[in-house]
Amino acid sequence: MKLSTALAIAPFLLAMNVAAEAACVYPQAPQTLPNGSSANKDEMLAAQDLVKQYVKNVQETYLPCLDKERTDAAAALDNMDPEFTQKKAALDAIHAKKHNAALDELQAFVDRWNGEKKAYSDKQADK
pLDDT of residue 16: 44
Q: How confident is the model at residue 21 (pLDDT cuts 50, 70, 90)?
A: low
Rounded to 5°, angle at Cα 101 from 95 and 104: 140
The pTM assigned to this predicted structure is 0.76
Residue 117, Cβ neighbours under 10 Å: how many? 18
At 37-86, the pLDDT tens digits run 999 999 999 999 999 999 999 999 999 999 999 999 999 999 899 999 99
Average pLDDT over residues 12-35: 72
